[in-house]
């Protein structure tokens, strides 16, 4: 039984349509939009008392429509409905890291251990372990006055100092009247505060927050947080992204592409190698096989930053395509709320949503059952605003303690047939500032990552120019743009060669084509199976890029096209071996000397 739910029925079911139910209140308690209610089916053969969780979507008088997060088999007219009195919320506190939750924050490992791998419906388990002990260390004294979100103390959660903060729903200033140090569970009080009205409130290690209410907006309204302008890139250790199409730390990006183009693989590598503190993976509607692979692989992988398990900094929200549609729609909100919580501690959080197309399809199904007026391709008319509302929760925020945290969101989009003109992709493109368009043609050629440099773009390249000037080179952005122009010119020459043959282009254009092909082969492509090339630090990217720029800027003279082709073939082989060599090792230096000699000799 959910500890926050009532035990007295205050409404009853009057209609059922798939996972949408209509209910009528008895008048004892008012119905509230987005309130969580529990349905007790009178039919069925369950071995335990089923209480199906639902959320009110629409109210008309003393009646309402609600979406049920479970199968509605056995639910009938007249079944009792219990109102919880709270919005759809998640538990926030120590013990989140390393967990695998469903879209409603039920711990799947605990569910599996208690009920087996065929999960029963109507089960609602606490998200945080009620028996685990945490060593709480206060950082304030009695008499200290604090605002919502300010730290009272901390506990050690894996490798992070997990801040225990004043509840986010507190208005005005609060005074600490009692605080203790010691080993406690998440339910035991560690402090007491006196609110501005004189009422006192006990503080435990955990608190709850409604997932559909942006945490950052609540803090901004109370003048506790300040939103900052993103001024540094998210370093992913993928050359194509970091150099050409960067995503700001606290920014937004999307990875659209057709089936088989490598969206999940690319997203997985970003999760493993990005320079962030916390990674939240939201699998909303992906096939169960892919999700199981992620769940089984992450605990075995080494975090390159610490040498520990990758799960020590990871939370997985799992709602596969075989799980209830309504819970899939809630899963992104659950993941973002957890990300906002850790951002409030001053940590850098990366949220990866796979895929927002299936999340939007869940909204479409619910909207259709509510008989709302459809928009383009039967998606709800509010699709665009819903997508914008999701991505707008990313950002850089300075908190009440003066620490700055960030939440970066990258969503994958799965347009049917690779059609980037469909509504979900178009709404996403109008919202995000980095577009990493995957190409089926490049994936077919075994180019990895299969991001098409002629389709993709990043609005952060100019925005982050001061960081590039300070950390890399004064003219970094200008050089990157010149290489992008080279790639576009090289593609045009390639198209001419396909029509007229190599003899139909000038020597200058042929060399341009060879240079563009060379950049594509040695810099845009990256070997995900090589332990060195899979993750490239920013300083190594700079060194390699400057070496390539030296070649491009050189006045290359060739006797004929065969001479040029042989030269670039040899150079490509040396560069590929350079990518596989450990940075600054003897092998790396020897290959570097050969490349420098070859560039100077022509």
Edge-to-edge, what's the strand order for the sheet holding 182-184? 160-165, 151-157, 134-138, 182-184
Residue 208 has pLDDT above 80, yes or no: yes
Closest alpha carbon to 591 in 549, 576, 556, 550? 576
* Backbone angle region of 107, left / alpha / beta, with phi > 0 → left and psi within -120 to 50 → alpha: beta
Distance CA 456, CA 246 (A): 11
Residue 288 has pLDDT above 70, yes or no: no
Count, residues in the chain: 602
Distance CA 14, CA 28 (A): 17
Cα Rg of the chain, angstroms: 27
Average pLDDT over residues 262-283: 92
Closest alpha carbon to 65 in 121, 25, 9? 25
What DSSP designation does 248 have? B
Ordered by where they begin, the domains of the chain are 1-86 (2.40.30.20), 134-205 (2.40.50.100), 239-458 (3.40.50.300), 476-601 (1.10.1140.10)
Angle between helices 538-553 and 586-601 (to 10 degrees): 20
Coil, helix or strand for 83?
Answer: strand
| 251 belongs to an annotated ligand binding site | no
- Give per-residue burial for 217-250: e unless 16+ CB within 10 Å, then b: ebbeebebbeeeebebbbbbbbbbbbbbbbbbbb
Residue 1 has pLDDT above 50, yes or no: no
Distance CA 2, CA 265 (A): 37
Q: Which of 78-87, 269-278, 320-329 has the lowest mean pLDDT?
A: 320-329
Query: Which band of pLDDT confidence, cut at 50, 70 and 90, is reported for residue 7?
Result: low
> β-pairing, 80-87 with 35-39?
antiparallel
Query: Which residue has better confidence, 489 or 554?
Result: 489
| 258 belongs to an annotated ligand binding site | yes
Token look-up 């208005």 returns: 171
What pLDDT, on the 0 to 100 scale, is given for residue 287? 67
Q: Which of 255-259, 435-439, 484-488, 495-499 has the lowest mean pLDDT?
A: 255-259
Average pLDDT over residues 355-384: 91
pTM of the model: 0.94
What pLDDT, on the 0 to 100 scale, is given for residue 47? 52
Q: Which of 213-227, 234-248, 441-455, 479-493 has the lowest mean pLDDT?
A: 213-227
Residue 134 has pLDDT above 50, yes or no: yes
What pLDDT, on the 0 to 100 scale, is given for residue 43? 72
Distance CA 277, CA 408 (A): 11
What pLDDT, on the 0 to 100 scale, is given for residue 193? 96
| 264 belongs to an annotated ligand binding site | yes
What pLDDT, on the 0 to 100 scale, is given for residue 451? 95
Token look-up 């999340």 returns: 359
Angle between helices 507-519 and 476-500 (to 10 degrees): 120
Average pLDDT over residues 178-206: 95
| 263 belongs to an annotated ligand binding site | yes
Average pLDDT over residues 305-328: 84
Distance CA 43, CA 369 (A): 23
Query: Which band of pLDDT confidence, cut at 50, 70 and 90, is reported for residue 5?
Result: very low
Residue 118 has pLDDT above 80, yes or no: no
What pLDDT, on the 0 to 100 scale, is given for residue 575? 96
pLDDT tens readout for residues 537-568: 999 999 999 999 999 998 888 999 999 999 99
Average pLDDT over residues 157-173: 93
pLDDT tens readout for residues 15-50: 999 889 999 998 888 999 999 999 988 775 555 568
What pLDDT, on the 0 to 100 scale, is given for residue 225? 81
- CA 503-506-507 angle, to 5 degrees, is 100
Residues 6+ apart with CB under 8 A from 35: 55, 56, 83, 84, 85, 86, 87
What pLDDT, on the 0 to 100 scale, is given for residue 401? 77
Across the chain, what does the average pLDDT equal?
91
Question: Which pair of structure tokens corresponds to residue 64?
Answer: 């309402």
Query: Which band of pLDDT confidence, cut at 50, 70 and 90, is reported for residue 3?
Result: very low
> Which stretches of 418-530 are DSSP H helices?
423-429, 440-444, 460-463, 465-471, 476-500, 507-519
| 261 belongs to an annotated ligand binding site | yes
Closest alpha carbon to 344 in 212, 222, 252, 224? 224
Residue 266 has pLDDT above 50, yes or no: yes
Residues 6+ apart with CB under 8 A from 71: 19, 121, 324
Query: Which band of pLDDT confidence, cut at 50, 70 and 90, is reported for residue 422?
Result: very high
Asked if residues 533 and 580 have their Cβ atoms less than 8 Å apart, the reply is: yes
Tally of CB atoms within 10 A around 168: 20
Closest alpha carbon to 560 in 518, 522, 510, 597? 510
Distance CA 587, CA 104 (A): 51
What pLDDT, on the 0 to 100 scale, is given for residue 44? 59
Residue 196 has pLDDT above 90, yes or no: no
Residue 261 has pLDDT above 90, yes or no: no
Distance CA 550, CA 482 (A): 13
What pLDDT, on the 0 to 100 scale, is given for residue 45? 55
What pLDDT, on the 0 to 100 scale, is given for residue 48? 57
Beta bridge partners of 66: 21, 56
Backbone dihedral angles phi then psi of residue 395, each to the nearest 5 degrees: 145, 175
């Amino acid at each position: 039984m959910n500890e926050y739910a009532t035990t007295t029925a205050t409404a009853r079911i009057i209609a059922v349509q798939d996972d949408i139910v209509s209910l009528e209140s008895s008048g004892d308690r008012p119905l509230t939009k987005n309130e969580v209610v529990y349905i007790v089916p009178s039919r069925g053969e369950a071995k335990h008392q089923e209480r199906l969780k639902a959320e009110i979507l629409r109210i008309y008088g003393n009646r309402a429509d609600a979406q049920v997060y479970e199968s509605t088999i056995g639910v009938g007219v007249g079944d009792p409905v219990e109102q919880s009195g709270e919005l759809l919320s998640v538990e926030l506190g120590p013990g989140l890291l390393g967990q695998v939750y469903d879209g409603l924050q039920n711990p799947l490992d605990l569910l599996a251990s208690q009920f087996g791998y065929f999960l029963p419906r109507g089960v609602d388990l606490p998200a945080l372990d009620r028996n685990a002990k945490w060593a709480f260390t206060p950082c304030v004294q009695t008499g200290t006055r604090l605002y919502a979100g300010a730290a009272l103390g901390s506990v050690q959660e894996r490798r992070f100092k997990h801040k225990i903060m004043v509840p986010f729903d507190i208005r005005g200033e609060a005074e600490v009247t009692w605080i203790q140090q010691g080993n406690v569970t998440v339910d035991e009080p560690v402090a007491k505060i006196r609110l501005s009205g004189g009422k006192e409130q006990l503080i435990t290690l955990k608190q709850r927050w409604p997932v559909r209410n942006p945490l950052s907006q609540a803090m901004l309204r109370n003048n506790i947080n300040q939103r900052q302008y993103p001024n540094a890139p998210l370093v992913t250790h993928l050359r194509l992204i970091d150099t050409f199409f960067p995503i700001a730390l606290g920014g937004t990006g999307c990875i659209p592409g057709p089936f088989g183009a490598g969206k999940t693989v690319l997203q997985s590598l970003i999760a493993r190698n990005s320079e962030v503190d916390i990674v939240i993976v939201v699998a909303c509607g992906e096939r169960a096989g892919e999700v199981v692979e992620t769940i089984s692989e992450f605990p075995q992988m080494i975090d390159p930053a610490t040498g520990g398990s990758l799960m020590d900094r990871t939370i997985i929200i799992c709602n596969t395509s075989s799980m209830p549609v309504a819970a899939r729609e809630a899963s992104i909100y659950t993941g973002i709320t957890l990300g906002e919580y850790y951002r409030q501690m001053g940590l850098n959080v990366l949220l990866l949503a796979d895929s927002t197309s299936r999340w939007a399809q869940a909204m479409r199904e619910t909207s259709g059952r509510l008989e709302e007026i459809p928009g383009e391709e039967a998606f709800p008319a509010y699709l665009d605003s819903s997508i914008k509302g999701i991505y707008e929760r990313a950002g850089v925020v300075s908190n009440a303690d003066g620490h700055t945290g960030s939440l970066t969101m990258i969503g994958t989009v799965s347009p049917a047939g690779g059609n980037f003109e469909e509504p979900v992709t178009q709404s996403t493109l109008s919202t995000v500032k980095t577009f990493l368009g995957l190409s089926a043609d490049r994936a077919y050629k075994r180019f990895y990552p299969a991001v098409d440099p002629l389709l993709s773009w990043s609005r952060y390249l100019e925005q982050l120019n001061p960081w590039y000037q300070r950390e890399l080179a004064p003219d970094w952005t200008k050089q990157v743009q010149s290489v992008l122009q080279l790639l576009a010119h090289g593609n045009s020459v390639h198209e001419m060669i396909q029509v007229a043959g190599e003899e139909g282009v000038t020597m200058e254009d042929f060399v341009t084509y060879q240079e563009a092909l060379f950049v594509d082969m040695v810099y845009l492509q990256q070997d995900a199976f090589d332990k060195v090339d899979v993750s490239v630090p920013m300083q190594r990217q700079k060194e390699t890029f400057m070496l390539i720029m030296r070649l491009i800027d050189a006045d290359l003279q060739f006797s004929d096209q065969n001479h040029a082709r042989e030269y670039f073939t040899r150079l490509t082989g040396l560069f590929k071996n350079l990518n596989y060599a450990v940075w600054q090792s003897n092998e790396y230096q020897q290959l570097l000397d050969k490349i420098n000699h070859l560039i100077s000799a022509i």
